[in-house]
A and B are shown apart, each in its own frame.
Chain A
Amino acid sequence: MSLSSTKNRSCIDGVKTGLFSKQEGAEVILQGTRHVHSSLLGTSDPCWKITQELILGKSLSYPWEIGIETKPLVLKQSQKRNECFEAIASTTHFGYKTQNRDRLRLILEELLSNSLYHAYKNKKEEDKYDRLSSVTLAPGEEVRVFFGENSGGLHVVVEDHGGSLTFDHFSKCFNRCVHQTKSHIAFDDKHAGAGIGLYLVFELASHLRISVQRGKLTRFSLWLANSNQFDPDSFSFNFFEE
């Protein structure tokens, strides 16, 4: 899909809508765009209208953020990541299909690891926990997971109380990954997953909304379309920072 060939596009500061591939969407994010919607409907996309309202400060949910009836799964130990995955995969129809399970497993592995290892900082504002060790979060620290589904797919929320993710950091991670995946340069060994995890989550989710309240909360809300309904050109990315 060419960036220049598609009609019905809108581009204002930090916001872009139209019809893109995921790769084009990633490039747009690297240019500083916090809100990207790709849909055949372009500016008529109802999700796009909701994003505009959210940018204005209104409190709304996207249609894919369906009601969640379950209690949150609370994670405090890195060794329990797989139990968290199994709790979702074994109790949803979505998790019955291998392709869905594989996608969910990878997304949860990356988001839970990000929250466990990178959300909580020490006094020097460095990661409190070492990515290559098992970790048990300190009292008051936790990662919470919510989920709900309908016939179209699965809604998953992963949140922590670190609130340390910034758009600047996100785009730096993204930048390392998007450019190095295409090049012959080795990935940077100094930076944990070198941004690959966030990039994978962006690639695998149909809709991704990241909300950060500085020092209080980082929340990843995702819609995973069923594998037989997954349209790679229909997606959204939104990063809200308070």
Chain B
Amino acid sequence: MENDKFKMEKVVVNGKEEIRLQGVIDEDTDFASLEKTQGPLYLNLSGITGINSLGIRGWVNFWKSHSDRPVFYVECPPVIVRQMSMIPSFCGHASVVSVYAPYICNHCEAEQLVLVESEQLSATPPNISESFACPKCQAGEMELDGSPRQYFAFKK
């Protein structure tokens, strides 16, 4: 069920149905409307802006009670990737299709999210760009903001 902090929307991307989640997952989030959908579930998480401990509990418990259903996490933002790495059961039985990696310029501190697809994630360590020229200032290098080992710890 939606509330003023959290929304779900069904969209079709390249002929594939996805559920887009947007907003904050907390104690008021109700995942019941996900039960109305059938078959494999592609959850696009790119619009999630925050999650707290009660939201994590609700999320983990919901998926533990629906472990027979194939679930795919698509375009996971850093706030979700961090939970996947800290709380192993956050991923549950889901397969991670793609995640966003946060990069920051070592010169002007401009930030950019770069999508890391499943083929890149399947390599150990993940096959991501170590750095690239900053598109904003052109003077610095964009580098992963944080420790790659820690950020991609959910792959263990």
Q: How far is the CB of A56 from chain B (nearest CB, A)?
A: 34
Complex formed: what's the CA distance from A28 to B78 in Å? Answer: 28
Q: How far is the CB of A192 from chain B (nearest CB, A)?
A: 7
Chain A contact residues (Cβ within 8 angstroms of B): what range?
Answer: 35 or more
Across-interface contacts of B109 in A (CB, < 8 A): 96-97
Across-interface contacts of A197 in B (CB, < 8 A): 52-53
Chain B contact residues (Cβ within 8 angstroms of A): what range?
Answer: 20 to 34
Of chain B, the residue at the smallest CB distance from A192 is B54
Whether the pair B52, A228 counts as a contact (CB closer than 8 A) is no
Q: How far is the CB of B101 from chain A (nearest CB, A)?
A: 11
Across-interface contacts of A204 in B (CB, < 8 A): 86
* A99/B78 contact (C-beta < 8 A), A105-B50, A193-B53, A227-B145 known: yes
Whether the pair A181, B89 counts as a contact (CB closer than 8 A) is yes
Contacts A103-B82, A109-B52, A193-B56 aside, 18 further interface pairs with beta carbons under 8 A come to: A96-B109, A97-B109, A102-B78, A105-B50, A131-B27, A131-B54, A182-B88, A186-B64, A187-B60, A189-B57, A196-B53, A197-B52, A197-B53, A227-B104, A230-B150, A231-B147, A232-B147, A232-B149
Interface positions of A (Cβ within 8 A of B): 96-99, 102-103, 105-106, 109-110, 113, 131-132, 180-187, 189, 192-194, 196-197, 199-200, 203-204, 227-228, 230-232
Whether the pair A106, B111 counts as a contact (CB closer than 8 A) is no
Across-interface contacts of A113 in B (CB, < 8 A): 52-53
Of chain B, the residue at the smallest CB distance from A232 is B150
Complex formed: what's the CA distance from A132 to B109 in Å? Answer: 39
Whether the pair A184, B150 counts as a contact (CB closer than 8 A) is no
Q: How far is the CB of B129 from chain A (nearest CB, A)?
A: 16
Across-interface contacts of A131 in B (CB, < 8 A): 27, 54
Partner of B102 from A96, A99, A193, A230 at Cβ < 8 Å: A99
Partner of A180 from B50, B89, B102 at Cβ < 8 Å: B89
Whether the pair B146, A189 counts as a contact (CB closer than 8 A) is no
Complex formed: what's the CA distance from A226 to B89 in Å? Answer: 27
Of chain A, the residue at the smallest CB distance from B62 is A186
Q: How far is the CB of A167 from chain B (nearest CB, A)?
A: 20
Complex formed: what's the CA distance from A203 to B151 in Å? Answer: 12
Across-interface contacts of A187 in B (CB, < 8 A): 57, 60-61
Complex formed: what's the CA distance from A227 to B25 in Å? Answer: 23
Whether the pair B102, A196 counts as a contact (CB closer than 8 A) is no
Across-interface contacts of B78 in A (CB, < 8 A): 98-99, 102
Q: How far is the CB of A112 from chain B (nearest CB, A)?
A: 11
Across-interface contacts of B104 in A (CB, < 8 A): 97, 99, 227-228
Whether the pair A110, B53 counts as a contact (CB closer than 8 A) is yes
Across-interface contacts of B53 in A (CB, < 8 A): 110, 113, 192-194, 196-197, 200
* A98/B56 contact (C-beta < 8 A), A181-B89, A184-B67 known: no
Complex formed: what's the CA distance from A32 to B122 in Å? Answer: 38
Across-interface contacts of A186 in B (CB, < 8 A): 60-61, 64-65
Across-interface contacts of B56 in A (CB, < 8 A): 193, 196, 200
